[in-house]
Amino acid sequence: MMKKQLSLILALLLLLSVLSGCGGETAPAQTEAAPAEAEAAPAQTEETPPEEAETTTEPEDTRTVVDDGRARPSSCGVLQVVGGKLCAQDGEPVMLRGVSLNGLVTSESFLNEATFRELAEDDGVNLFRLAMYTYGVGSVGYCTGGDKDRHKEDVARGVELAREYDMYVLIDWHILSDGDPNLYADEAEAFFAEMAGLYADYDNVLYEICNEPNHVDWPTVKRYAERIIPVIREKDPDSVVIVGNPDWSKDLATVAADPLDFDNIMYTLHFYAATHGQDLRDLTERVSQNGLPVFVTEYGVTASSGGFPRDLESADAWIELLERENISYCLWAYSKAPEPCSVLRSTTLGYSGFKEENYTETGLWLLKTLAEHSSR
């Protein structure tokens, strides 16, 4: 009986040890997993090494350098007025010899790479004038319901093309029928503030703030200039600004007696060779030699209407004077309009790749004149 009881006790003890052994091994295994997860968490929250900052480089200057001995932005930099003369950045006098569109919107097809490349590299042009009419019909007049965005897009295209092909560019506020520049002075102020802000860092941009004032006196034009020039200077303090004057920009005597009090200012002279002869040449020579900074932003070899006759002898006399006095000049007009002042025949197809037969007598005279005057 005792043996049976002892055997029963031993069996119970064995069963209890087996049962306690199963529970004791599984529980620790579960509790050890938690520390493992806790150790894994810091690994997930470790900061990843920062990526190296990207380095930026200035875009490569891909502008074409035209090395023909003429004054170019690549060789002369930002222009200035010194001693009454247009000068390079180094202070030495320069000559700009160029062409003017006869209207920005109406001639915008000429604003293409091929035309600008040929003008610069083949013809010797180093100035392109963007004539933007302020008064006009339909889309033409910037201040009379014209498409302002389209005008400014054309200006931007012309500035960039001139920059690309190593030419200076003249942004021309082309008043004509409006006569008094104060008529649209508010629009002029906004326009030139925008242009000067856009092109302050460009080395090839000049500003012409009133093409041909007419039926107004010099004090009226001067008041306008004294309003617009500071707007440009606020954004672009070093640019050359060219100011028109009464009598369709021929009244240099009045200007010389009462000039503006700003640096880097020049005064417009316009002439048409078959209308304006020796008297105006004598006045131009006199005021230039007395120190007035003169810039011929527009001239023609025809009558002042742009029509016949052409007077190439008078035109040659004008060029001889301008070259002698270091007065830059820009021909009216780079156009196919059917009028004698146009460089190209109205029957010309396309807007580049011109051959000799595509040029009018005016155009052939221009090419000859540019070829004969290639100095800086």
Whether the Cβ atoms of residue 171 and residue 205 lie closer than 8 Å to each other: yes
- Which residue do the tokens 């062409």 mark? 99
* pLDDT for 41 beyond 50: no
Q: How far apart are CA 119 and CA 101, in angstroms?
A: 13
170 within some domain: yes
At residue 192, the pLDDT reads 98
**Distance (Å, whole) CA 244 – CA 174:** 10
Contacts 24+ apart (CB under 8 A), 43-48: none
Q: In this structure, are residues 266 and 293 in contact, taking their beta carbons and an 8 Å threshold?
A: yes
pTM: 0.84
Residue 199's pLDDT band (boundaries 50, 70, 90)? very high
What pLDDT, in 10s, does the model give residues 222-244?
A: 999 999 999 999 999 999 999 99
Residue 45 lies in a domain: no
Is residue 16 in some structural domain?
Answer: no
Q: Residue 304: which domain range?
A: 73-372
pLDDT on residue 138 = 83
Average pLDDT over the chain, rounded to an integer: 88
Helix segments in 49-168, DSSP class H: 73-76, 113-118, 148-164
CATH classification at residue 173: 3.20.20.80
Asked whether residue 48 is assigned to any structural domain, the reply reads no
CB half-sphere exposure, 376, CA atoms < 13 A = 18
238 found inside a domain: yes
Find the range with the poorest average confidence among 13-22, 71-80, 131-140, 252-261: 13-22
Number of domains in the chain: 1
Catalytically annotated residues: 212, 298
